[in-house]
Structure 1
């Protein structure tokens, strides 16, 4: 009896990752299959695209002075969260399958924490964007009067909260002291934590949907009772277009993450009876796609963002071509093309002269 009580001690921290997987009945692959190799290869390719696409969004917002407003800073911070998600998924791909059994508990917790941090950062950024839009749209302004210092402080707080939420399971809210509370999807996580985390995120979704619904109702009411003055109508249409873009981002996020959160909620409530392991991988793939959706939405909805993307890519291609010409013995003494000097100038003066003739004001999504 003494031996049995020592082995099954409620807080025996000597158990490894494999023990918890066996305890909840989640199988760890013994050998690599062709299917596993294809999945990991495609997954890492998608992660690379996610990182590059969101990095392009961040560079575009930082270089184009027309995007230097609170709403775009928050969207840039959301792109940083998506970029971080791409890194988190890549780390997951490199520590899954047969590699799972080789992980220490610390490495396993880090793998899960990266995913938690990226999701929390995305949700917090969406909530901040919703509050910012509510503040500006109710007063029918394009941009918030929030200072850059406050925006930076808000973004720091978002990442601080995200990191704390990511560290919670590894620090105290896990099942190492209560094996009956272990999750089947994440065997070292507490089922009660998964319920708390899923409910918190789902509640945040509903709050954001309610906020945007109120904003749309208000804008529609104001538009129907507004004067038909050209400037007023253009201003209101710009606000509506921006709202549509942000709503598409929110809708894509909810669609991509809702299955995964519901799966975690069912796993937390029902445990093995939920059979969550049968479809958790599909939910993870859908969630990973969300990090790639936002840059696509910006490209389709925001003309200025699309032009900025083209400008950045053109400058990179020109620099690559210039480097090749410099290395060529035939072109070594030839001067640099005059057109490459435009890449050094500020973006809002070098995008193209056609853009400057078309618009005299800030270019907004969908305009």
Structure 2
């Protein structure tokens, strides 16, 4: 038990894993990587600012105090934290990586995974809310606030649990052959588990929206009001933006889980795919603004 504890605070462990999976490439960043890093930091500052404005709008405008907009506010909060997490990740990467202990490394990467999970679960909560609203099921009646708090709380508890699994033991510190190339202290099995969970949730969301559209098209005119349809289109666009931005990164992580060590050289360029995925957190507030006069 003591040896395991020491490994978690041994800075040389980081270098050992990076040398095994990446040939120590993290210690010699190229000019293009520096440029990308600076651009991501600037983008993250923009993400934090615009999502903060969305949260202020939801809090201050009484029109946005409905269940739907509260869930949108929750998504904006997860995007804001994602911006902070990605910024910290970039600032603590490169040569700085080798000054980190495994615990610090797990915190650096785990916060990014947790905010991604929170975004996915927030999208699921929004889809459930839209389905409830369209089908007129009275789950938000007398205990409306309690149910919303429980659902949002569950999003964050599950997201935090997913992000914490590696630091709690599901990692490859005792088996280098099981190590991810993109994230050298993470187990390939953990990477595959996370991608599988996210994919199943996204498929469930697509299924919910497909059912909603079928209900709207086959229902009476009073159900398909202009406001209902506009809001439905907005959240569908948000879902589409998430899939477009994150699909390349998900594919890279799937390759990472299946490729032998150093066999897939494209995995060394994973930072570019994650930089593209970061655009999603910047796109959501723009979508809200373009689609809603009240939000503008």
Q: Same fold (TM over 0.5)?
A: yes
Answering whether residue 88 of structure 2 is matched by residue 91 of structure 1, we say yes
TM superposition shift of 1:28: 3.0
Deviation at 1:238, TM superposition (A): 1.6
Q: Where do residues 1-367 of structure 1 align in structure 2 (5 Å cutoff)? A: 13=7, 14=10, 15-31=12-28, 33-139=30-136, 144-145=140-141, 147-222=144-219, 226=220, 232=222, 236-272=225-261, 273-306=263-296
Q: How far 1:74 moved relative to its partner?
A: 0.8
Q: Distance in 2 between matches of 1:183 and 1:27?
A: 14
Q: Pick 1 or 2: higher relative contact order, CA cutoff 8 A, min separation 6.
A: 2
Distance 1:303 1:220 in 2: 25
Equivalents in 1 of 2:67, 2:23: separation in Å? 45
Give the total of aligned pairs.
289
**TM-score when normalising by structure 2:** 0.91
Query: In the aligned structure 2, how far is the partner of 1:125 from the partner of 1:73?
Result: 10
2 CA distance for matches of 1:71 and 1:250?
15
Indicate the structure (1 or 2) with the bigger Cα radius of gyration. Answer: 1
CA contact (8 A) 2:67 2:148 kept: yes
* TM score, norm. by length of structure 1: 0.74
Q: CA RMSD in A?
A: 2.3
| Cα distance in 2, alignment partners of residues 183 and 297 from structure 1 | 34
Structure 2: stretches of 5+ with no match in the other structure: none
Deviation string 1:130-178 (CA, Å, 9 cap, x unpaired) is 111111112299x954611221222122111111111101111000122
Q: Secondary structure at the match of 2:260?
A: helix
Evaluate the alpha carbon distance shift between residue 113 and residue 29 of structure 1 in structure 2; reply closer, same or farther with a 3 A threshold: closer
Unmatched segments (≥5 aa) in structure 1:
1-8, 307-367
Distance 1:279 1:36, change over 3 A: closer
Give structure 1 regions of 4+ aligned residues with deviation exceeding 6 angstroms.
9-12
